[in-house]
Amino acid sequence: MSAVPVAPASEPVEEVLALLRARGGRVTTARRQLLEALFESADHRTAEDLAATVQARSPDVHISTIYRNLDELERLGVIVHTHLGHGPASYHLASSPHGHLVCETCGLTIEAPEQLFSGLSRSARDRFGFRIDPRHFAVLGRCRDCEAQ
């Protein structure tokens, strides 16, 4: 499934809402606010972080609504979830495929081009018949600064 291109400011929210409508989905206040929260920040955010942002605007939106909407947006290819270590999954826009390198010491997260993982992907496929999705997990280690200390 291809990623939805990211456009400036409010345009992407309307583009995604149009995609939802075209695929038979309903546009609700909660969905609109969740999309706004996702597009307001380029950071990787947990469902709880996103829920707090949405609930600050609409306190009656339940966390289960956030999770259902995140699942639908991921199914449509708008967002991707990833596991950046030992905590909960985080979500980000699927604007450009990438993997993650996470420092176990300081928490620095580096978005690495998907091509960096192509050798690992090829080896896993050739040796084990297994296709990995480098967008879904993080490679843990130590960043340059922490390694130097």
Domain-located, residue 4: no
2 falls within a domain: no
58 with 80, same domain? yes
pLDDT digits (tens, 9 = 90+) for 20-55: 888 888 889 999 999 999 988 878 899 999 999 999
Q: What is the pLDDT of residue 141?
A: 94
Rounded to the nearest 5 degrees, what angle is found at the Cα of 30, between the Cα atoms of 81 and 77?
A: 30
Q: Give me the domain span that covers residue 139.
A: 98-148
pTM, to two decimals: 0.75
Same domain, 110 and 83: no
Specify whether 73 is located in the same domain as 142: no
What Rg, from alpha-carbon coordinates, does the chain have? 17
Whether residue 107 sits in one domain with residue 60: no
66 contacts 32 by C-beta, under 8 angstroms? no
104-134 pLDDT per residue, tens? 999 898 988 888 988 999 999 999 999 988 8
Residue range 68-89: mean pLDDT, rounded: 88
Final residue of a domain: which of 93, 112, 137?
Answer: 93
pLDDT on residue 54:
95
pLDDT of residue 105: 93
Q: How far apart are CA 136 and CA 121, in angstroms?
A: 13
| Domain contains 22 | yes
Q: Domain check: are 68 and 120 in the same one?
A: no
Same structural domain for residues 89 and 104? no
* Judgement on whether residues 89 and 37 belong to the same structural domain of the protein: yes
Within-domain flag for 3: no
CATH code at position 106: 3.30.1490.190
The whole-chain average pLDDT of the chain stands at 86
